[in-house]
């Protein structure tokens, strides 16, 4: 099936569809839902139709939501025979490795009554032995990645706020699935890692002696990245554009990791919008008493309560040609980076052009329903935001929203 006028169908393999107003192949009209296999954004296959009439033209495909029962294995069974949900198709073998690593970590803690010390070679060697014993005991056919297992041991004491946000967001989403019954739950193990955040060269890894606790609120983060990295974070100068749902999340993470807490660090945030009651369900730095106040002012104050050391300046300006006297050469040249938290394409494109001109890194992000995207733009290494274009968003008639809401996004 090929969609008309290159309209994206939006289906996924495994979805079920039925048809109406098909000319020629009349057997499809009002048929039982057929499982499809997606071939591309504009085409999908519906199985064997050789016994049907000759297709002439036209027709509408409608997705049919079919109830699905999911049977989960017990913890004991799934530990021995796990099924994984992939988070990164570039790491196809990673979940099986991490599955063993977490079991080894529990065994290490049970034996030593503590986690492996940060970047400790001795503890990593003991951890590797536990991994090898588990692999032999479970008769695993996979080859254990020794470097990955060492890193797992080195980092097991660490605690990084953005990773906690991923865990919390995933858990909250699973809870919403359970409450609504409208989405399929994760089945059964979901592992997520961000080891690419570490230095590429092992020679640049932190040393065990440098990662000992000092009583700092950032000790658990220093245990991962080392004190030098923490010092660089503290002296970063960042410009955050937008204080809505994404802006609130970014600001919270900035405060928790200690961004711009040093003598030379600063965060500038701008948003000209006023807080409305409808914002409160997703823009979590705001409370009912904040309705009617500027988002940027309120968000900055909330962040200061989270971490009084953050140096933050709030503005209520629109980004565009009319504010280039405020956000001028001097302003951009002192920045280490820009983070977009915008809700319209024009402002995104404008900020992208400014970042390209001044050669500044850009963190671009957006949301659509339960989905989100992030694009990291680095000068001379990646394409810019404006280098590619998304397809136009499908609009929903206001009469449908008011009188006949029939889909989750309504």
> Residue 409 domain-assigned?
no
Distance CA(297)–CA(273), nearest Å, equals 10
Regarding whether 76 and 47 lie in a shared domain, the answer is no
What CATH number should be reported for the domain holding residue 40? 2.40.30.180
- The answer to whether 286 and 295 are in contact (CB under 8 A) is yes
> Residue 27 domain-assigned?
yes
> In degrees rounded to 5, what are phi and psi of residue 349?
-65, -40
| CA-to-CA dists, residue 242 to 11, 74, 220, 249, 258, angstroms | 32, 45, 29, 11, 20
- Please say if the pLDDT value at position 193 is more than 80: yes
- Please say if the pLDDT value at position 181 is more than 90: no
- Please say if the pLDDT value at position 46 is more than 80: yes
Considering the candidates 31, 179, 211, 399, report the single residue annotated as catalytic.
399
What CATH number should be reported for the domain holding residue 189? 3.40.50.12550
Regarding whether 242 and 209 lie in a shared domain, the answer is no
The reply to whether 355 belongs to the active site is no
- The answer to whether 282 and 328 are in contact (CB under 8 A) is no
- The answer to whether 396 and 409 are in contact (CB under 8 A) is yes
The H or E element that residue 221 is part of is helix 219-225
Tokens of 324: 């280039």
Supply the pLDDT for residue 410.
66
Q: Please list, residue by residue across 276-291, b when 16 or more beta carbons sit within 10 angstroms of its beta carbon and e when fewer do.
A: eeebeeebebbeeebe
> Residue 165 domain-assigned?
yes
- The answer to whether 142 and 97 are in contact (CB under 8 A) is yes
- Please say if the pLDDT value at position 403 is more than 80: no
> Residue 380 domain-assigned?
yes
> Residue 408 domain-assigned?
no
Regarding whether 286 and 206 lie in a shared domain, the answer is no
- Please say if the pLDDT value at position 372 is more than 90: no
Whose structure tokens read 């961004």?
Answer: 259
Tokens of 338: 């820009």
Regarding whether 368 and 272 lie in a shared domain, the answer is yes
Tokens of 229: 């990295």
What distance separates the 2 farthest-apart alpha carbons in the chain?
Answer: 77
What CATH number should be reported for the domain holding residue 283? 3.40.50.720
Task: Determine which of 19-28, 174-183, 252-261, 399-408 has the lowest per-residue pLDDT on average.
Answer: 399-408
DSSP states along 182-207:
-SPPP-SEE----GGGS-SSGGGSPP
Q: How many domains does the chain have?
A: 3
Q: What percent of the chain has pLDDT over 90?
A: 84
Q: pTM higher than 0.75, yes or no?
A: yes
Regarding whether 279 and 248 lie in a shared domain, the answer is yes
Q: What percent of the chain has pLDDT over 70?
A: 95
pLDDT tier at 391, thresholds 50, 70, 90: low
Of 346 and 392, which is predicted with more confidence?
346
> Residue 410 domain-assigned?
no
> Residue 180 domain-assigned?
yes
Using the 3D structure, point to which of 180, 198, 226 is the last residue of a domain: 226
The average confidence (pLDDT) of the chain is 93
Regarding whether 374 and 271 lie in a shared domain, the answer is yes
Regarding whether 267 and 123 lie in a shared domain, the answer is no
Of 407 and 171, which is predicted with more confidence?
171
Work out the average pLDDT over 177-202: 93
Regarding whether 335 and 251 lie in a shared domain, the answer is yes
Using the 3D structure, point to which of 226, 259, 282 is the last residue of a domain: 226
Regarding whether 377 and 296 lie in a shared domain, the answer is yes
Using the 3D structure, point to which of 162, 197, 226 is the last residue of a domain: 226
Supply the pLDDT for residue 402.
65
Regarding whether 332 and 294 lie in a shared domain, the answer is yes
Distance CA(383)–CA(297), nearest Å, equals 33
The alpha carbon of 166 is separated from its chain's Cα centroid by a whole number of angstroms, namely 7
Regarding whether 56 and 89 lie in a shared domain, the answer is no
> Residue 257 domain-assigned?
yes
Q: What share of the chain is helix, strand, coil (3-state, %, to 5)?
A: 40, 15, 45
- Structural domain of 38: 4-64
Regarding whether 83 and 49 lie in a shared domain, the answer is no
């Amino acid at each position: 099936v090929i969609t008309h006028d290159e309209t994206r169908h939006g289906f996924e393999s495994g979805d079920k569809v039925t048809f109406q107003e098909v000319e020629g192949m009349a057997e499809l009209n009002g048929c039982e839902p057929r499982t499809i296999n997606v071939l591309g954004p504009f085409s999908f296959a519906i199985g064997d139709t050789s016994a049907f009439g000759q297709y002439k033209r036209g027709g509408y495909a409608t997705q049919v939501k079919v109830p699905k029962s999911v049977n989960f294995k017990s913890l004991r069974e799934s530990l021995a025979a796990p099924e994984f949900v992939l988070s990164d198709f570039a790491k196809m073998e990673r979940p099986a490795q991490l599955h063993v690593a977490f079991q080894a970590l529990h065994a290490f803690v049970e034996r030593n009554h503590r986690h492996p010390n940060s970047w400790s070679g001795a503890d990593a060697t003991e951890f590797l032995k536990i991994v090898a014993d588990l692999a032999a005991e479970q008769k695993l056919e996979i080859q254990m990645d020794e470097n990955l297992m060492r890193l797992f041991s080195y980092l097991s004491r660490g605690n990084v706020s953005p990773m906690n946000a991923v865990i919390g967001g995933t858990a909250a989403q699973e809870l919403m699935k359970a409450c609504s019954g409208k989405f399929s739950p994760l089945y059964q193990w979901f592992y997520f890692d961000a080891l690419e955040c570490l230095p590429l060269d092992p020679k640049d890894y932190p040393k065990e002696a440098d990662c000992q606790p000092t009583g700092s609120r950032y000790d658990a983060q220093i245990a991962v990245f080392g004190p030098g990295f923490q010092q660089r974070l503290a002296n970063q100068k960042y410009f955050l554009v937008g204080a809505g749902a994404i802006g609130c999340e970014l600001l919270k993470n900035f405060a928790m990791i200690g961004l711009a807490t040093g003598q030379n660090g600063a965060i500038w945030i701008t948003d000209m919008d006023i807080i409305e009651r409808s914002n409160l369900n997703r823009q979590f730095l705001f409370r009912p008493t904040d309705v009617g106040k500027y988002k940027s002012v309120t968000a900055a104050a909330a962040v200061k309560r989270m971490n009084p050391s953050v140096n933050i300046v709030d503005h209520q300006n629109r980004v565009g040609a009319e504010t280039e006297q405020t956000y001028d050469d001097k302003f951009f040249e002192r920045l280490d980076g820009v983070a977009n938290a915008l809700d319209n394409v024009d402002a995104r494109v404008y900020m992208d052009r400014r970042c390209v001109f001044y050669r500044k890194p850009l963190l671009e992000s957006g949301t659509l329903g339960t989905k989100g995207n992030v694009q990291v733009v680095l000068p001379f290494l990646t394409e810019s935001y404006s280098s590619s274009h998304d397809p136009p968003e499908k609009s929903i008639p206001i009469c449908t929203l008011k009188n006949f809401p029939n889909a989750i996004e309504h």
